[in-house]
Structure formats: structure tokens, C-alpha cells
Amino acid sequence: MRAAPTILHLDMDAFYASVEQASKPSLRGKAVIVGGLGPRGVVATASYEARRFGVHSAMPMAQARRLCPNGAYLVPRFTLYRSVSDVVMGLLRELSPLVEPLSLDEAFVDLEAGGVARDAESALATGQRLRADILAATGLSGSVGLAGSKMLAKVASEEAKPNGLLLIEPGTERELLAPMSVRTLPGVGPATGEHLRRAGITTVGELAEAGEDELVRMVGRAHGVGLYRMALGLDDRPVVAERDAKSVSVEDTFDVDLHDRVRIRGEVQRLADRCVQRLRGSGHSGRTIVLKVRRYDFSTLTRSETLRGPTDDPAVVREAAGRLLEAVDTTGGVRLLGVGVTGLADYTQEDLFAQSLAAAGEWAAEGEPGGSTGAQEAEETPGAPGASGGPEPARERHWAAGSDVRHAVYGPGWVQGSGVGRVTVRFEQPGSQPGRVRTFLVDDPELEPSDPLPLVGEPAPSRPA
């Protein structure tokens, strides 16, 4: 614990949904739900307007649609989210060399290490300036917590939501924490929370009063000691600037269980290619290939194979994943498949198994047609070729709700929906007024997929209404 509140925790407010509202003027102030749109999709983020209906992250998308039938349901656009995150993280690194990202929209910052804060007054000024800088650079709001420890800074940012700032003065921790639910503390999930509730412990204050010995008796030594320290507001963990990635993986959940063994094998090969693309994008290679299979009855199997050395060769990963699949019984159907690489290294060992250049050149670009409902599928390109890579001239182009498009006459816009051979597009962009809606045939040659526009910048020239 520090004597001054110089640890900052930033948490962007409803990040994915807020980015969508900022880039789509017609959705500002409305319920927006981002996630997988298929029948087995899951909510990634819900705007605060949607949360009033009871929608929250990790909820099945079908349930969200029942709770909020008039909401805007969109696929995630991770390319845009990452670019906005890079801007935010850049602002944090201007404050201190010690920035510990937890996700695209969340990070700890050691303000003392950057020399920008030494007491409550300077920390408060830094937090206020940061929020203003983020708003100016991205048009988005973030909540900031300031405290003498990482745990308390995170608690403070959560209490400050949405679009707020809270500083916890050292010495006031126990008073602040006492009335809060035990679920506020890191590591207290539903199971532990229910166990404590049955023992009559529902608040952090009651947790502290129970004492260390009683908590050790209830939940074990390691967890009990940690819970007691957190209840007292004690946390000595430092802000760590670099966090080594331990694995890279991709997975897809399918709308309908897969039974055809050839189709399953093809999906595994496709996932292996996507995993390698992500692996290369992170600048790593890996030596252990992992296959994940969730069967029709929700039983989940994982199989792994460790190679002789690290690789980022797509042919090697495909072959290893294929071998692992041969050892898995898929009778009855498969609802989810995943491929991952662990044992990461910062270098590659070229031609690890003397794969031919032709085989290595078969690496496919990310972006497949529909069939997946996982959030990571949001980056698929509408109308992309199938996994086989062969031409599919007769195939109807797929336009996912929320994806970016550009029309030769009307300019940039986004897909509101599609079906029965037609696609509906709203033509608007960040900084514009809510735009007009037009409908086209799905194969209209003047309508093309487009890259996302930046949230902040000069608006593009207006197009015919």
C-alpha cells in the first residue's frame, strides 16, 4: 500500500458499444448490443441504455433479444476497437513508463513512476486531464479510479462508472469497502459469494470481522488469507509494464451442430490458419498446438501436441491440429471448435519440418462466410470466399449487421440488416448527422465492404441524400 493515491485504473465505459455509438450517429442514446448474432451468440458489450433492460455481457444473445427487442444488434469490429485502444494506451504511456494493460479498454498506470503525481492533489489533476485527453482524441468517455493499490484503484473506477472519477484517500479504505458486497473483491465469484452468503457474510465489512482464521476454515488457506487482506484494503502488487502472452487461440461456435467429419476437418484447418495469422500478428511463434472440441452434449475435450521447436508455419499448425482431431470422437455432433498455440517464443524456426514452400503458401487470410456466432467472427469480410479458397460466383454476398460499407454514389455507411436478397444501409459517419437509409440488392456492384472510419477527424465530403 502506498501513502499516496498514485496508482490509476482506467476503464473505458461500455467500450465496444460506445465505439459503435460514436461511429454511428443514429445510435447515440439508444440501446446497442454488440456480440455474436447467431442463435448461439453471446453478448460482448451492451450500452448503458441496453443495460436498463437487463442486458449484460456474457448473456446469450437470444435472451438479450427477448429483454430488449428494439435494440440495435451489431457484430463487433475489432479492427476499429484495436485502433481506438492504441490511441488510449498511447495517452497512458505519456503519463508513465509503467502501464499494465488488462484488455483493450482497461489498464493500470503507476503515476509515481512517471513523475506526474506524488500526492492526492496532483493525482486528481492527472486523472481529470487524462479523461479530457481521451475524450478529445476518441470522442469516448472513460472512468478513472485513483488509490494507493491496484485493487482499490479498480474498485474506485467501478464505483465512478459511468464517465466519472473517484479518488480513495489512503486511510479511508476500510470505511469505503465495508458496506460493499463481497462480490466487489477480485476473485470472489458466484460460487465463493454464495458460500459466504450461506455463512451470513455478504459485505466486505462482515468479511473483515470474520477474521483470517475463520475465512481460512471456510475457503482454505490460500484463498482465505487473500480474502482477509483484501477486506482490509491491503494489496502490494506492483504495476507491471510488460505481460508476456502465454497463448494465442481462436474458436468458433456453430449455429447448428456439425456432424460431417469432412466439414469438421475443414473447420479445424480454417481455424488453424486464423490462429497462425493472429500468432504472426503478435510477433510470436509457439511449440504446442492445442485443439478444443465441445460436443453436442456440452462435454469439452482438449488435445495438445508439442513440436520439436517453435513455429509460425501454417502448414505445420494445420497438420498438427488435424492429427489431434483424429483422436477425438465427434459422433453425435460438434457445437464448438478451437485451435490454439502455447509455449510462445519471440522467434521462429523456419522450415521446422522441411515443409514445402507451396504448402507454406497456402495460408489463408482471415475472414470466412457465416456459420460462427463467436465475437471474434466480427472481423469477417462480407462476401469473402469460402474456406476452400475456390471461386464461388453463384454465392450470395453476406452483409453482417453493423459492418462498414461504401457505395459508389452515396459514400460510407453501415449495414442495418439484410435478407431475402436485399441489404439495408444507413449512410452516415462519425461526426455527421443521423443519415438516410437505403435498400439495395445484395449483389449491387456499387456497394462494397469498407474499412472503418476514424472516430475523430475531418468529416468526409457529403454525398447525395
Instruction: List the catalytic residues.
Output: 106
Q: How far apart are CA 243 and CA 102, in angstroms?
A: 9
In angstroms, rounded to a whole number, what is the distance separating the alpha carbons of residues 29 and 14? Answer: 13
CA distance 155 to 176: 10
H-state helical runs in 282-356: 314-326
Tell me how many degrees the CA angle 45-14-462 measures, rounded to the nearest 5. Answer: 95
Task: Report the alpha-carbon distance of residue 52 to residue 196 in Å, rounded.
Answer: 28
Instruction: Specify the pairing of strand 447-449 against strand 300-311.
Output: unpaired
Task: Give yes or no for a contact between 411 and 373, defined as CB atoms under 8 angstroms apart.
Answer: no
Instruction: Select from 268, 336, 339 the least CA-distant residue to 297.
Output: 336
Distance CA 169, CA 463 (A): 53
Relative to beta strand 72-74, strand 32-35 is: parallel
| 90-94 long-range contacts, CB within 8 A, separation 24+ | 91/130, 91/133, 91/134, 91/137, 92/10, 92/130
**CB within 8 A of 354, min separation 6: which ones?**
none
Residue 81 near residue 63 (C-beta atoms within 8 A): no
Contact 169, 121 (CB under 8 A): no
Angle at CA 18, nearest 5°, toward 12 and 20?
140
Query: Under a CB-based contact definition with an 8 Å cutoff, are residues 224 and 197 in contact?
Result: no
Please write down the long-range contacts of 163-170, taking CB distance under 8 Å and 24 or more positions apart.
163/13, 165/124, 165/127, 165/128, 165/131, 167/5, 167/120, 167/123, 167/124, 167/127, 168/5, 169/5, 169/120, 170/1, 170/2, 170/3, 170/4, 170/5
Of the candidates 431, 440, 436, which has an alpha carbon nearest to the alpha carbon of residue 460?
Answer: 431
The answer to whether 83 and 386 are in contact (CB under 8 A) is no
For residue 420, the one-letter residue type is V
